[in-house]
Structure 1
Amino acid sequence: MIALLKVSIILGIIVVLLSKNFPLSWALLGGSLIMGISFGIPFRMIMKGFWEGLSSWETIKLVLILYFIALFENILREKNLLQKMVLSLKKLIKDTRVRLISMPIIMGLLPSVGGALFSAPLLDEISKEDNIDPERKSYINYWLRHIWEPFLPIYPGIILVSILTEKPLNFFVREALPYGLATLAIGLFFAFYKANLEKANLSQESQNIGQNEDSQENLENPQETNETETSIEEIEITNPLSTFILSFLPIISLLFLVIFFHFDLLYTLIGINIVLFFILKFDFNKMKETLIHSINLQNLILIIGVMIFKRMLEITGAVSDIAYSLNYSFIPTYIIFFLLPLIIGIFTGVTSATIGITIPILLKMLPYQNPSKYLVLAFASAFLGIMVSPLHLCLVLTKEYFKPDWKKLYNYVVKSGILLAIFILLKFFLT
């Protein structure tokens, strides 16, 4: 239990630093160093762990995916496709609530941690006329994009748990569907409970849609402004339906290739970006400018910090020690199947890591009666853990984009997590 205490203290320090608006990237790097020292790891091994977290293909691929997502967005923005999509959707859908939730839910079909960067700018633009605080925007973007993760059979978590348990994928799809529906219901409740959806001052809408607000500075070079983008009032929409379909076509093409043809997300992004450069007739200078503006060092350091922290958890053996302590305790079985994935999920913020660490241990503890019921409980608890984890990259990226008050945003997340935990336990005992 000493490992649990040490990691809890470190995680607590990181959360406190976040509440003081300290950059998460540096908080994670500092926490990684403190973790190595507190577990008695030689300094040489700590530096080796830092290097492994920095140079692993998993880290490099994640950095590339997020970069090409930012490039994809900038290409669409440069040619006003995002603006046209937003305007046509506003004409097609009159209900403000439906418009707000549509983008994160649609983008959630993409099983990528970087998907938060797709829905964030779309949600931001579609809500410009509505007086919605950044905390509520952040919550909607984060929580509702994950309604698919428990049961959609293209997400890595459900695929991995099916492989590790040697149970059919459709079993977990069927059993986990209620958790996705519960996540949606909870998200809708907190998204609109006591929400002020009155129209904002329309004079503010005369600003150029390409002019970055503070909430968008992390995705573009703050030293530059794009003078070619068009004011939203200057874009004329004659056929909203066809305009929406055409402007949404690059995104739907990406989703279709990844979901139905199982193309690798990184290489699909590279291919689609190249095609868009030629179809949308970018000249060499504009292409070069867009490529440079899509680089964001802050996000790069942040991703590196997350991956180094994850690597240090592995090197110190902290996660294994915590799992071992719970495994050989006198705690009731159902509590272990609920708590272990929950704790690991909170500590890592990564679904595949949580499943990969906990399921092999829990398989050795399966009771003879209703073993499948306990596996589903563990899977649902892992999902709950990563959803309330302050280290969840989608939450971190959303926070960096909208710049909300961290305490208020995390308060939404924690309350939602409590309701989801109650639902998970009720379903376990009542089914």
Structure 2
Amino acid sequence: MKGKWHLGIIIFSISIITGIIFRTTPLTLAKNIILAVVDPATLELFAIIILVIFLSNLLREKGNLRNIVVSLESFIRNPRLSLIIPPAFLGLLPMPAGALFSAPMVEESSRNLRINTESKTFLNYWFRHIWEYCWPLYPALILTAAILNVSIRKIIIAQLPLTLAAIFAGLFFGTRKISFPQNLTNNRKPREVFKGLLSFIINIWPILAIIFLVLVFKIELILALLTITGIFLAVAKIKGKRIFLVIEESFSWEMLFLIASVMIFKRTIEMSPLLSGIPAFLEDLGASPLLFLFLIPFIIGLLTGITAAFVGMAFPLLLPLIYQSEPNLTYVMFAYAGGFAGILLSPVHLCLIVTKQYFKADFKKIYKMLLLPVAFVVLIALVIVFMSRLWG
């Protein structure tokens, strides 16, 4: 982060400036900051983010992540799928520059395929991010639910079509031109396939268990994380010294400050006249609310390359458009699609930078590959919005 402003400082500064613009007294401003930080929703958010990072680090420490990929390769018959499985499954766990972790696996899987560096870059980058629309372990999704004060389960259901659209777009635009020798198909024996499948389930069980608890039993995410992380710690038998090192790696003051800044910004916006003035402003302007729902998150995503940034900065501003008597989750989905389109196209997105660097790919050619699938996902989001209007 040297030479760059930390995102949390930027959002916190914008909160202070917003308060000054609307003539909030220093005492009221300080009170709003304290109330935002000690709010139960903020404290729960702190705990969830730390637990998610901690569990990700534990799984990496025990070798589960690597074992997941190896086991998948034992029963995947299509060589094209062997390229996308590593980034797709590692994408289930959020981690900084996570695309770099799967890049060597994509390189290894592509050794006998006719595929250029830009295609390898695209597949690694794209499939690393297909889950961010609906996967409950991603901080931005958790943040979205917190800002809107809705169940994360509702967000997941509303945004699942975006993940399905992203998977289709990645397969259609990214794998069609990849060719391979006919003798390259997987001819492993049924016993080897079964062994690989069993290894896969054994290594991925913590992730599956959390999703099962949240979606099926409707248990709060923080309780599911605490339960499964505790069980994993008990059975993993990681030495005490290593556990403390993993805890140290998982605890980030920068991340906590970023989350606090977002919640402070949300409260500052809520306490200002800005929210009540946005609908009137849009009406005077004559522009469609959909334009603002898309553009504001898209621009922030494009400029920052950080999902939490467009969620934390754009969604509080969009609350008047999103909320009627209750949040319009179709609008939330469309705004998220716009913001994430900006993220995927951002030249400062860390995953894009490290993947491009690893494969020594050409930026211009990568962008040519990204534009159509990104546009496809946004188009699907727009179609869903219009369909929801028709069906009322």
TM score, norm. by length of structure 1: 0.59
Q: Aligned pair 1:358/2:321, yes or no?
A: yes
Match of 1:382 in 2: 335
Asked whether the 8 Å contact 2:127–2:167 carries over to 1, the reply is: no
Distance of 2:10 and 2:372 partners within structure 1: 24
Query: Relative to 1, partners in 2 of residues 1:274 and 1:423: Cα closer, same or farther, differing over 3 Å?
Result: closer
Match of 2:207 in 1: 251
Match of 1:3 in 2: none
Q: 2:129 aligns with which of 104, 124, 142?
A: 142
CA RMSD, Structure 1 to Structure 2 (Å): 5.1
Match of 2:304 in 1: none
Match of 1:66 in 2: 49
Query: Relative to 1, partners in 2 of residues 1:78 and 1:96: Cα closer, same or farther, differing over 3 Å?
Result: same
Shift of 1:261: 0.9
Query: Relative to 1, partners in 2 of residues 1:331 and 1:182: Cα closer, same or farther, differing over 3 Å?
Result: farther
Query: Relative to 1, partners in 2 of residues 1:284 and 1:422: Cα closer, same or farther, differing over 3 Å?
Result: closer
Query: Relative to 1, partners in 2 of residues 1:107 and 1:36: Cα closer, same or farther, differing over 3 Å?
Result: farther
Asked whether the 8 Å contact 1:182–1:423 carries over to 2, the reply is: yes
Structure 2 unpaired stretches of 5+ = 111-116, 179-192, 301-309, 357-362
Match of 2:277 in 1: 321
Shift of 1:120: 3.4
Asked whether the 8 Å contact 2:90–2:128 carries over to 1, the reply is: no
Q: Aligned pair 1:239/2:195, yes or no?
A: yes
Q: Once the two structures are superposed, what CA deviation does each residue of 1:240-266 show, in whole Å capped at 9, x if it has no partner?
A: 222112111222112111111111111
Match of 2:76 in 1: 93
Distance of 1:184 and 1:416 partners within structure 2: 10
Match of 1:349 in 2: 311
Asked whether the 8 Å contact 2:125–2:351 carries over to 1, the reply is: no
Match of 1:15 in 2: none
Asked whether the 8 Å contact 2:170–2:373 carries over to 1, the reply is: yes
Q: 1:295 aligns with which of 247, 251, 263?
A: 251
SS in 2 for 1:349: helix
Distance of 1:410 and 1:33 partners within structure 2: 37
Asked whether the 8 Å contact 2:33–2:264 carries over to 1, the reply is: yes
Q: Once the two structures are superposed, what CA deviation does each residue of 1:226-246 show, in whole Å capped at 9, x if it has no partner?
A: xxxxxxxxxxx9932221121
Match of 2:15 in 1: 32
Distance of 1:120 and 1:69 partners within structure 2: 14
Query: Relative to 1, partners in 2 of residues 1:90 and 1:56: Cα closer, same or farther, differing over 3 Å?
Result: same
* Count of residues in correspondence between the two structures: 338
Equivalent residue runs for 1:7-156 within 5 Å: 21-93=4-76, 98-99=81-82, 101-102=84-85, 116-117=94-95, 120=98, 123=102, 126-127=105-106, 129=108, 137=124, 139-146=126-133
Structure 1 unpaired stretches of 5+ = 1-17, 164-168, 196-236, 364-374
Distance of 1:263 and 1:293 partners within structure 2: 27
Shift of 1:299: 1.8
Q: Aligned pair 1:339/2:339, yes or no?
A: no
Asked whether the 8 Å contact 2:90–2:102 carries over to 1, the reply is: no
Match of 2:190 in 1: none
Amino acid at match of 1:248: I
Q: Once the two structures are superposed, what CA deviation does each residue of 1:91-116 show, in whole Å capped at 9, x if it has no partner?
A: 333656535544676688x8xxxx53
Distance of 1:62 and 1:30 partners within structure 2: 21
Amino acid at match of 1:116: P
Q: Once the two structures are superposed, what CA deviation does each residue of 1:320-347 show, in whole Å capped at 9, x if it has no partner?
A: 3212322x44737xx33x2354467667
Q: Once the two structures are superposed, what CA deviation does each residue of 1:100-141 show, in whole Å capped at 9, x if it has no partner?
A: 544676688x8xxxx534993764574464767888755543
Query: Relative to 1, partners in 2 of residues 1:67 and 1:156: Cα closer, same or farther, differing over 3 Å?
Result: closer
Equivalent residue runs for 1:156-235 within 5 Å: 181-188=164-171
SS in 2 for 1:46: helix
Match of 1:306 in 2: 262
Q: Once the two structures are superposed, what CA deviation does each residue of 1:338-374 show, in whole Å capped at 9, x if it has no partner?
A: 23544676676269868864344499xxxxxxxxxxx
> Structure 1 vs Structure 2: percent identity of aligned residues?
22
Match of 1:280 in 2: 236
Query: Relative to 1, partners in 2 of residues 1:399 and 1:304: Cα closer, same or farther, differing over 3 Å?
Result: farther
Amino acid at match of 1:309: F
Asked whether the 8 Å contact 2:69–2:86 carries over to 1, the reply is: no
Q: 2:221 aligns with which of 253, 265, 270?
A: 265
Distance of 2:74 and 2:252 partners within structure 1: 34
Amino acid at match of 2:291: L
Distance of 1:278 and 1:314 partners within structure 2: 43
Asked whether the 8 Å contact 1:138–1:402 carries over to 2, the reply is: no
Distance of 2:89 and 2:265 partners within structure 1: 31
Q: Once the two structures are superposed, what CA deviation does each residue of 1:55-97 show, in whole Å capped at 9, x if it has no partner?
A: 2222221221111112212222222222211222233336565
Distance of 1:119 and 1:100 partners within structure 2: 18
Query: Relative to 1, partners in 2 of residues 1:179 and 1:245: Cα closer, same or farther, differing over 3 Å?
Result: closer
Query: Relative to 1, partners in 2 of residues 1:24 and 1:139: Cα closer, same or farther, differing over 3 Å?
Result: farther
